[in-house]
């Protein structure tokens, strides 16, 4: 037994605790988080002297466990908008301090008592020009397996995007989308189910399109921009692009609440938002940010496409997240 205690003490001493002056920002990893580090965390550290440790990827199971145990190691977390809208009232998040965060400049579509937008993105129709004879332009095209035979890629997880696309393809007017007619949406999805290849991560969606495994499909716009930059001939259709946002939240009981609020205030201010948008291809949620941007870059972002835009209703999704999710996964497994 002595050996075990010695070992145990050795192990514990090797652990590296996070020092008190730091805070932890958690996002989904990859290029987006790298951009968030550069555009938000670095200026924040320069301004306040507080180091921002990057963690990730975001995991809702982890957030729940942390809050329940009262040992919360994440201070600011980038989550999906519908999760934020649900988790806040469910007691998992701290209310945000709008004395510190300037609410007036933020896009009101993405602000709740517990969350503010992080950036927003659009589900658009992407197509690999070299692999497809003809590119689908509308959701109806993407759901038309006769005009556009072959596999098509869709987002695997239950989230705003695919159900809306199915309804739009079936002829529902954008204004009549909510409340979602789930029966109709699943019936429409059934018609192409055998031709769908699901992507579970942004990288996988790019891989599918680049390798022509799926010549077309529904993608996050930022991923298509990156794909085009890497030399793949991508055609993007913004027709009825479906927008949803990521949100910034503070888990309940976060250790560095004050720093967290300051961090969010900076992250959502005009210039850092503009920089993040330029780096990722996603749109800023600060209303002043577009004027800080290069007009050429701006033209490629979702907010330049608002005429064709369809907004996912986060409130609706928050209220029905569990119900839709359960049905969604059951339908997929059928």
Alpha helix positions (H), 54-211: 60-69, 81-87, 139-142, 162-169, 182-190, 202-210
Among 50, 132, 182, 212, binds other proteins (CB under 8 A): 212
The token pair at 195 is: 């031709």
Closest to 218 in 3D by CA, of 267, 278, 153: 153
Site string for other proteins, 162-201 (x = CB under 8 A): -----------------------------------xx-xx
Indicate whether 332 belongs to the interface with other proteins (CB under 8 A): yes
Cβ-proximal residues to 112 (8 Å cutoff; 6+ apart), any chain = 84, 85, 88, 247
What b/e readout covers 63-83, taking b as 16+ CB neighbours within 10 angstroms? beebbeeeebebbbbbbbbbb
CB of 244 to other proteins, least distance (A): 16
CB of 148 to other proteins, least distance (A): 16
Alpha carbon distances (Å) from 221 to 117, 122, 124, 258: 17, 6, 6, 34
**Number of residues in contact with other proteins under rule CB under 8 A:** 62
Q: Which is nearer to other proteins, 1 or 175 (CB)?
A: 1
Segment near other proteins (CB under 8 A), from 9-17, 132-140, 167-175, 184-192? 9-17
Calpha distance 233→303 (Å, rounded): 23
Segment near other proteins (CB under 8 A), from 138-146, 209-217, 257-265, 292-300? 209-217
CB of 311 to other proteins, least distance (A): 23
Binding residues for other proteins, rule: CB under 8 A, are 1, 4, 7-8, 11-12, 14-18, 24, 28-33, 53-57, 59-62, 64-66, 68-69, 71, 73, 151, 156-158, 197-198, 200-204, 206-207, 210-213, 227, 230, 232, 322, 325-326, 329-330, 332-334
């Amino acid at each position: 037994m002595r050996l075990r205690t010695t070992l145990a003490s050795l192990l514990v001493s090797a652990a590296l605790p996070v020092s008190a002056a730091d805070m932890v920002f958690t996002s989904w990893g990859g290029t987006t988080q790298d951009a968030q580090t550069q555009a938000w965390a670095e200026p924040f550290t320069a301004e306040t002297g507080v180091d921002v440790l990057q963690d990730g990827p975001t995991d809702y199971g982890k957030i729940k466990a942390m809050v329940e145990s009262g040992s919360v190691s994440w201070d600011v977390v980038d989550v999906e908008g519908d999760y934020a809208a649900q988790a806040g009232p469910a007691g998992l998040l701290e209310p945000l301090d709008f004395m510190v965060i300037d609410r007036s400049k933020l896009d009101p579509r993405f602000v709740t008592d517990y969350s503010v937008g992080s950036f927003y993105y659009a589900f658009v129709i992407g197509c690999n020009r070299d692999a497809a004879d003809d590119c689908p332009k509308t959701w109806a095209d993407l759901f038309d397996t006769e005009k556009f035979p072959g596999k098509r890629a869709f987002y695997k997880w239950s989230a705003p995007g695919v159900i809306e696309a199915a309804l739009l393809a079936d002829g529902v007017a954008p204004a009549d989308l909510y409340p979602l007619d789930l029966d109709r949406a699943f019936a429409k999805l059934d018609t192409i189910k055998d031709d769908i290849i699901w992507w579970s991560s942004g990288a996988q969606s790019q891989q599918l399109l680049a390798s022509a495994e799926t010549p077309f499909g529904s993608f996050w716009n930022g991923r298509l921009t990156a794909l085009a930059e890497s030399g793949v001939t991508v055609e993007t259709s913004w027709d009825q692009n479906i927008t949803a946002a990521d949100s910034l939240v503070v888990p309940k009981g976060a250790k560095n609440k004050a720093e967290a609020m300051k961090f969010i205030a900076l992250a959502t201010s005009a210039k850092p938002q503009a920089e993040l948008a330029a780096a990722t291809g996603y749109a800023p949620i600060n209303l002043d940010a577009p004027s800080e941007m290069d007009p050429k870059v701006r033209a490629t972002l979702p907010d330049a496409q608002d005429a064709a835009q369809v907004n996912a209703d986060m409130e609706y999704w928050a209220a029905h997240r569990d119900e839709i999710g359960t049905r969604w996964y059951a339908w997929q497994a059928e």
